[in-house]
Amino acid sequence: MPQTSVPVDSFTEPYTRLGDDVSLEEVREKVRALEDEHRANGVPLSGRILHVCHYLPITLTLTKPSKSGGIGVISPPATPPSKHSEVPAEHPQQTAAPTQDKPQEPFSVPEQPSQSPAVAPSSLWTLSPRYGHAAMISGIRSLSATHEQLIIGWTGDILSSTPGENIPEEKISEEDRKDLGESLKGYQPKETGSADPDDEKEDKKTTYVPVWMPGKVAHEHYDGYCKQILWPLFHYLLWQDVATEYASADSHYPFYEAANAAFAKTICEVYRPGDLIWIHDYHLLLVPKMVREQIPEVILGLFVHTPFPSSEVFRCLPRRKEILDGMLGANLVCFQTYSYSRHFISTCIRVCGYEASSRGIDVEGHVTSVLHCPVGVDAERVARDLTRPGIKPKFDALRTLYEGKKIIVGRDKLDVVKGVLQKLRAFEKLLQDYPEWIGNVVMIQVTSPALSDSPKLERQVSELVAHINGEYGSLDFIPCHHYHQTLKKDEFYALLSVADLAVITPLRDGMNTTSMEFVIAQEKTKKSPSVLSEFMGISKHMEDALQVNPWNLGDVAAAMNRGLLMSESEKESRHANLHKVVTTHTSHSWAAVLVKMLLSQVGGVNTARRTPYILKELLQKKYMDAKKRLFLFDYDGTLAPIVKIPSMAVPSEETLLALKQLCEDPKNIVYIISGRDGEFLEQHLGHLKNMGFSAEHGGFVREPGHEEWMNFTEALDMSWMTEVHEIFRYYTERTTGSQIEVKKSSITWHYRSADPEWGLFQCRQCQDLLENNLANKRPIEVLVGKKNLEVRPIAVNKGEIVKRILYHNPDAEFIFCAGDDKTDEDMFRALNLFPSGVTKTTMEAPLSVTLIEPESKNAPPVDLAISPDAVFTTAVGHSSKRTLASWHVTTPQEVVEHMLEMVEVATQPGTPHSNL
């Protein structure tokens, strides 16, 4: 049975793929080998990678009034760091002085001098690091060792030299923007407070490209649609669940669209052929399609750092199709885990009705691969940060303060999805169920301000902490300590190092860096265990942690008790395994694997040649020059759009007019070659007497000007239909919404109205049964179509009918053949008459002639008058659709328009070869 990249019937969850669990240097070697292979095959590669992020990793300050005379306005509160590891380093004067005692091994590296913010030579702009998304930025920066890079992102609020003020984007003059571009060219990021060897390793050039947006667009995009709609949805909450007042899911969408368009415009301005592009995260889900519309041949990946919900949650989004179509503009969509990629594929199938195959999601011929690749932390940087001398005094102070007690540590954003309330209730459950811990364990819970404030949640946490301390505390013992603040880096790492147990139990999360940083922090201290939520994207990554369902308070409490009582040998064993994973699957290896995966898309089946749009002038010239012309049309999807109810696919007035005018020209021979039965074709098109018809994929033919149908199946053994019908009936009974269509020469099982994933699974099972048990014994072929499975005689197909028509009209000098489906590829294959360099050819009598016409059994070959450039095989659909056709148009309406234009040109008075 054919396998998809994410089987719909499998719930196994491999964390990484074979070949990705190797060292960073091995991954980079594979990248180099792929690049060499592509260049040897003539594939252009620029050596550049474009990373598109919501923000530039730089805070911009205009150090003097803008030349436009703009006046600063009060800035909204600064966004706090959005990852636990991304805490700003301490300001030099706040850093504790090094202790006089000889420091312990974990804290033995001397403190490095702080780096001052970079100031451009003109002193117009001050550039300093923006703290946030450290794992992603670290991974991106690591690629500078092998590739030239462009990091494209929004400027963020432009700060004024006056504290607390910012300058609106509209007030920044063009001259100042150019100055910023010059300043960014020489910018080298430096980690404040520590010397980072990576800063010295960067071999290739890194360029920072700002995206300019009006302030209202930027903030309605981020604070509105991203944070109020998409963020909750991707974490299994609907917008009304987190809103403090009435929330409309659509009110911010125009700003989301406008912001994405601004990013796409900037990308197109800096793009060079051969660039690789990675779009990062849910802020920019429309960008892939927008860029592809402008640069059809682009090689583009989308990495979604958040979870992706099940289809039943995602389908609540009013703009669900726009979002999914935007994402599917990429060559590759990548998630943190297999589960998220499976949810995405299921959503595309169920919500949009798209088809999934082993190659990915098929949207009108453009195929998007779907993979997963976990992000890690920059393990080397975390290990260096743990040697900061400011950590040691804080570590000792915490150990002294809670001497004789076990320390449980938790650090989360104060966000409803982080599960802080549930964690505190689980701690209370620990004290209830295991009262021996009262007076012997403390919990230190730090909550940093969330991206969207929640006074209600803050109040609930404070009340619960007060309740626990009132119930289980005493004058000399406080069991639960809650600090609502942004920790300094030294405090953060001291807290992780001193802990006896970490409890990190979000209700839903993508990558949680704290759990990995905790493992590295414990390497030279206690090797303490951690309790992790099974609903985090990294849960499969951290299998040696104690994993729990955060909603099950009893299980969380039991896991806390087990972790606190764990033997030293078990601690060391679990820690060793976790440390190996955390230091192997780092942010650097993640970034290298992303490049490898995207390079694997280059030149493959998902980036097949793009079929050119049909040249109208060439088409009309060849039409005018020909003395005899053949027109061969499929019906559904070619002359009429695909509809859910087949009987509703009626031809439009324009289609009937175009066909009528073509048929009236004696030089033209026009055929409809369809999978429909003859009754349908006669009902809607039978009044066109000069038109020929082929019904049921070539099973029946009615010649132009004739009333009788020729049955091509009469000479064939059709007894197999009873057996196939019995098999189809078996699957119909077990697949709600499916049905059987019996024609005179074929039989089809439709599952368009069935559950899409169950229908697809049943289709594959049925196909496997037919191919392995029947097709090898009978003269039949099994065809997989759009939501259907068809069985037909092996000698009856559209290609045979095209050969028959051409054999009987060898003097034709122009052929226009249009179709949209897999069965239409038989027509295109039949018209692939000329090997490379050949301009004249002969044609043997096809089966459709020798079988049906006994007197033609020994019919001789015929010489064809057609030339290669007068055969217009035309696929209807996206230019990237895999097809044997030489040309493409996008819609059925365009087929009709081309027919009408050809007729119009030919019938103009005075036109050469005009029939008037």
Kindly list the catalytic residues: 634
375 neighbors 135 (Cβ within 8 angstroms)? yes
DSSP category for residue 251: T
Could you give the 3-state DSSP secondary structure of residue 734? coil
Closest Cα to residue 638, out of 648, 629, 647, 651?
A: 651
888 neighbors 614 (Cβ within 8 angstroms)? yes
Give dist(CA 538, CA 880) in Å, integer: 35
Give dist(CA 281, CA 300) in Å, integer: 14
Closest Cα to residue 375, out of 85, 65, 687?
A: 85
Residue 794 — left, alpha, or beta (φ > 0 → left; ψ -120 to 50 → alpha)? alpha
Radius of gyration of the chain from Cα atoms?
A: 33
Give dist(CA 134, CA 240) in Å, integer: 31
3-state secondary structure 29-78: HHHHHHHHHHHHCCCCCCCEEEEEEEECCEEEEECCCCCCCCCCEECCCC
Neighbour count for residue 105 (Cβ, 10 Å): 8
Closest Cα to residue 380, out of 49, 135, 578?
A: 135
Give dist(CA 879, CA 98) in Å, integer: 65
Q: Are strands 165-167 and 73-74 parallel, antiparallel or unpaired?
A: antiparallel
4 neighbors 358 (Cβ within 8 angstroms)? yes
Q: Are strands 842-843 and 862-863 parallel, antiparallel or unpaired?
A: antiparallel
758 neighbors 735 (Cβ within 8 angstroms)? yes
Give dist(CA 810, CA 157) in Å, integer: 71
- Residue 768 phi/psi, 5-degree rounding, is -60, -45
Q: In what order do the strands lie in the sheet with 546-548?
A: 480-484, 441-448, 406-413, 501-504, 530-533, 546-548
Sign of CA dihedral 256, 258, 259, 265: positive
Q: Which pairs from 712-716 meet CB under 8 Å and 24+ separation?
A: 712/745, 712/795, 712/796, 712/848, 712/851, 712/852, 713/744, 713/745, 713/793, 713/796, 715/851, 715/852, 716/779, 716/793, 716/795, 716/796, 716/851
Tell me the two tokens of residue 681: 């074709």
673 neighbors 694 (Cβ within 8 angstroms)? yes
Burial group, residue 822, by CB count within 10 angstroms (0-12, 13-18, 19+):
middle
DSSP category for residue 613: B
Strand residues in 429-581 grouped as ranges (E): 441-448, 480-484, 501-504, 530-533, 546-548
Closest Cα to residue 261, out of 300, 297, 301, 293?
A: 293
Tell me the two tokens of residue 901: 């234009």
Beta bridge partners of 874: 818, 887
DSSP category for residue 111: P
Sign of CA dihedral 182, 185, 191, 193: negative
Which helix (H) or strand (E) covers residue 413, if one does? strand 406-413
571 neighbors 528 (Cβ within 8 angstroms)? yes
